[in-house]
């Protein structure tokens, strides 16, 4: 029944948020009553998989092109395939774009998560997952840049340091 109600929402992200909120309540009630069995494990697993769906959907809004680029380019670069097929123009464009919009992107993620999850504990958990996954994708992207330009990329001035990104993530992760 929950899944049927979730389909009333128009996007996968909204559907996942709806189900996360409902399954979190179910898991909480089961835990409160000491019901630690198959049902509890089942709902916890559903909750975890839905959080993963929400994380990917949330990131695809602002960072979908970078994520797709990483997933497409990693096999070529890291597995020794033909590097001449790597689109360096897109690499530079994505890096510049991230450099220009990363702070607004984090603020937008924070806004969306706050709006999607009225339970602060759930919202904080999901926010941390989204921001951690964003950091992982960006780190993978930078690894590709470094692999393609071992002596430094000609557009290195647009590289945002991981520590700067982590500090901003830390600020948002502690202030829900």
Three-state secondary structure along 33-100? CCCCCHHHHHHHHHHHHHHHHHHHHHHHHHHHHHHHHHHHHHHHHHCCCCHHHCCHHHHHHHHHHHHH
Q: Could you tell me the residue range of the domain that residue 63 belongs to?
A: 2-174
Spell out the residues 6+ positions from residue 119 whose beta carbon is closer than 8 angstroms to its own: 21, 24
Tokens 């996968």 sit at which residue?
12
Lowest mean pLDDT segment, chosen from 38-52, 73-87, 105-119: 73-87
d(CA 130, CA 124): 10
Give yes or no for a contact between 24 and 122, defined as CB atoms under 8 angstroms apart.
yes
Q: Please, which contacts does 123-130 make with residues 24 or more away whose CB atoms are closer than 8 Å?
A: 123/176, 124/173, 124/176, 125/51, 126/20, 126/51, 126/54, 126/55, 127/172, 127/173, 127/176, 128/173, 129/51, 129/52, 129/55, 130/54, 130/55, 130/58, 130/59
160 Cβ partners below 8 Å, 6+ apart? 98, 99, 102, 138
Domain count, the chain: 1
* pTM of the shown model: 0.89
Q: Tens digit of pLDDT for each residue in 127-155? A: 999 999 999 999 999 999 999 999 999 99
pLDDT, mean of residues 3-16: 71
* pLDDT for residue 34: 74
> What digits encode the pLDDT tens for the residues 35-75?
677 777 888 999 999 999 999 999 999 999 999 999 999 99
């Amino acid at each position: 029944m929950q899944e049927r109600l979730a389909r009333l929402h128009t996007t996968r992200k909204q559907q996942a948020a709806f189900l996360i909120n409902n399954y979190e309540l179910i898991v909480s009630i089961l835990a409160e009553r000491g019901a630690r069995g198959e049902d509890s494990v089942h709902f916890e697993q559903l909750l975890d998989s839905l959080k993963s769906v929400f994380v990917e959907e949330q990131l695809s809004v602002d960072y979908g092109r970078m994520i797709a680029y990483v997933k497409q380019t990693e096999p070529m670069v890291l597995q020794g395939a033909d590097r001449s097929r790597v689109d360096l123009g897109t690499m530079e464009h994505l890096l510049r774009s991230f450099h220009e919009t990363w702070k607004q992107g984090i603020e937008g993620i924070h806004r969306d998560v706050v709006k999607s999850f009225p339970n602060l504990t759930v919202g904080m958990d999901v926010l941390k997952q989204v921001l951690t996954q964003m950091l992982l994708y960006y780190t993978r992207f930078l690894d590709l840049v470094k692999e393609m330009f071992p002596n430094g990329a000609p557009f290195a001035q647009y590289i945002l340091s991981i520590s700067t990104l982590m500090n901003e993530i830390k600020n948002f992760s502690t202030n829900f």
